Amino acid sequence: MNQLDALRQWTTVVADTGDFKQLSISKPQDATTNPSLILKAVQKPEYRPLLDQTVKKHAGKPLDEVIDRLLVNFGTEILQIIPGRVSTEVDARLSFDTAATVARGERIVALYKAEGIDTEKRLLIKVASTWEGIEAARLLEQKGIRTNLTLLFSFAQAVACGAAGVQLISPFVGRIYDWYKKSAGAKWDEAASAGANDPGVKSVREIFNYYKQHGIKTEVMGASFRNVGQIQALAGCDLLTISPELLAELAASNEPLEHALDAKAAAKGDAKKVSYDEAGFRFALNEDAMATEKLAEGIRAFAADAVKLEKLMQESGK
């Protein structure tokens, strides 16, 4: 049994890609996308026609709607290959606008429904884990729209998401690792900070254990991996979303894989339950320099890629 098959014994494997033609190789249960992945995909010759066709078919409509239609086209293609759910992201430029995020999420759902997709079972609306995004997710969940809270770097964000009743969270393992490595500079010890000691792995483990101990139903999906060691150290997490390159690396290894996270064992923990109102959340996030910086950086990067995608569409429509 290779490590990818071993991982599937305990964890739902999710592909993190816009390149849907690779999905038949790795055979994931679910798939996630984001603006950066879609931008990367449409710059490849095999996917550019999907962008051009979307722009041509919806010429004259607002650019933000055409982008949503492109995202839904990618998602619909993905759902023809995978058996589970696809995550489609709301424009990161709306990360601090609850009402606009809800409206955009509802529009994406409507577009999927028009394609005949069972959105309650097969779609997650991806939203940044700002206070406003978490509140938007709370409202969407109340409407029966399932959500995936992304750009999650802190325990406070995870606690607020659990309280909001979101379907799933995506803590970013690799980006947490990046911050601590850069912060340590020449003092960074790669070997001492690998595996279970990786700061990104430790963050996800803390969240996973807390959720299981307190019966929080929100699913934990580790994301943004830099190496297979981080994935191996989280075997047993509810879900892990993994790039095609790292999926291939796992499939190529026949080394034994340890069951690292166990929900039953985690449920026996003794961590106190905590809660945050808006002021408490903002202060806790502010106190975490890594989470504050990586959240802002992530929103800026996704917003920049949304602008690049818009420019490609405008060029295509000329």
Burial zone of 134 (CB within 10 Å; 0-12 exposed, 13-18 middle, 19+ buried):
buried
CATH at 215: 3.20.20.70
Residue 126 appears among annotated catalytic residues: yes
Split into its structural domains, the chain has a count of 1
**Res. 214: pLDDT tops 90:** yes
Residue pLDDT, tens place only, 68-115: 999 999 999 999 999 999 999 999 999 999 999 999 999 999 999 999
Cα 280 to Cα 276: distance, rounded to the nearest angstrom: 5
CB-based contacts of 262, cutoff 8 Å, min separation 6: 236
From the list 44, 56, 126, 272, the catalytic residue is 126
What pLDDT score was predicted for residue 317?
80
∠ CA 84-175-2 to the nearest 5 degrees? Answer: 50
What pLDDT score was predicted for residue 25?
82
What pLDDT score was predicted for residue 193?
98
Q: Report the amino acid identity of residue 156.
A: A
**Res. 199: pLDDT tops 90:** yes
Residue pLDDT, tens place only, 12-70: 999 999 888 888 888 899 999 888 899 999 999 999 999 999 999 999 999 999 999 99
What pLDDT score was predicted for residue 228?
97
What pLDDT score was predicted for residue 183?
98
Do 156 and 285 meet the contact criterion of CB atoms below 8 Å apart? yes
Domain with 153, as residue range(s), is 3-316
| Distance from chain centroid for Cα 211 | 18
What pLDDT score was predicted for residue 35?
81
What pLDDT score was predicted for residue 103?
98
What pLDDT score was predicted for residue 226?
98
What pLDDT score was predicted for residue 101?
98
Residue pLDDT, tens place only, 117-160: 999 999 999 999 999 999 999 999 999 999 999 999 999 999 99
Q: Is the dihedral of CA 308, 32, 108, 302 positive or negative?
A: negative
Residue pLDDT, tens place only, 239-287: 999 999 999 999 999 999 999 999 999 999 999 999 999 999 999 999 9
